[in-house]
A and B are shown apart, each in its own frame.
Chain A
Amino acid sequence: EVQLVQSGAEVKKPGESLKISCKGSGYSFTSYWIGWVRQMPGKGLEWMGIIYPGDSDTRYSPSFQGQVTISADKSISTAYLQWSSLKASDTAMYYCVRSGYVVWGKGTTVTVSS
């Protein structure tokens, strides 16, 4: 079965760092782009960026460039989304999705609060 399994919910304080993960299985991880999508509470879907694990080619939305880092470790079929200094406004659900947009992770809830 093709699936993306995301890491669990996180509760952090402003200024802390965070790295969440998305592990692919059931397909060739290096052959498909993985994207990250943000959904703030009660709001719509926003593309943050995409990565091609085969060569680590990465593209960011201008809205998220410099705010997050997207990476991948193809040896363990896992993509990552990380923050060096969280803000309260980073509170959201984060989804990973495989190119083709059919395979989605269940989402990781990130809550940033003092």
Chain B
Amino acid sequence: DVVMTQSPLSLPVTLGQPASISCRSSQSLVHSDGNTYLNWFQQRPGQSPRRLIYKVSNRDSGVPDRFSGSGSGTDFTLKISRVEAEDVGVYYCMQGTHWLWTFGQGTKVEIK
């Protein structure tokens, strides 16, 4: 199985400040079709997960542009340019390149 390792696991952030979450995979996430199926999800307390980013850097519809994704191969990053109160929650990376699809452990973002 592909192991997804996120860091940090806890991220206290001041409102208006940037935040960055790292996600590393145990093997390359480049699919044989040339795409890299790395997704980022946000899970607010009491809610279902919501996809924010797909194929490394593509924002889903309705996702604020303060969220951005980058990376390649085995090393990926989610950045929030200026954290807002509604961004509190747990963020997961997830690879969809290799079955079994796998999530990272999650990073809890909270306001300082």
How distant is B53 from chain A, measured CB to nearest CB, in Å? 11
How distant is A51 from chain B, measured CB to nearest CB, in Å? 13
A102 and B48 form a contact (CB under 8 A): no
Flag the segment in B18-26, B27-35, B81-89, B100-108 that touches A.
B100-108
- How many pairs of A and B residues are in contact by the CB < 8 Å rule? 43
B71 within 8 A of A: no
Proximity bits, A30-56, B CB within 8 Å = 1, else 0? 000001010000001111001000000
Interface size class of A (residues with CB under 8 A): 10 to 19
CA distance A44 to B92 in the complex (A): 8
**Which of A44, A50, A59, A107 is close to B103, meaning CB atoms less than 8 Å apart?**
A44
Chain B residues with CB under 8 A of A106: 48
A47 and B48 form a contact (CB under 8 A): no
* Total number of B residues with any Cβ neighbor in A under 8 Å: 22
**Which of A44, A46, A61, A107 is close to B48, meaning CB atoms less than 8 Å apart?**
A107
| CB within 8 Å of A: which B43-58 residues | 43, 48-51, 54
Query: B residues touching A (Cβ–Cβ < 8 Å)?
Result: 1, 39, 41, 43, 48-51, 54, 60, 90, 92, 94, 96, 99-106
Query: A residues touching B (Cβ–Cβ < 8 Å)?
Result: 35, 37, 44-47, 50, 59, 61-62, 95, 97, 101-102, 104-107
16 further A-B contacts with Cβ under 8 Å, apart from A37-B49, A101-B54, are A35-B101, A44-B103, A44-B105, A45-B94, A45-B106, A46-B103, A47-B100, A47-B103, A59-B99, A59-B100, A62-B1, A95-B48, A101-B39, A101-B41, A104-B48, A106-B48
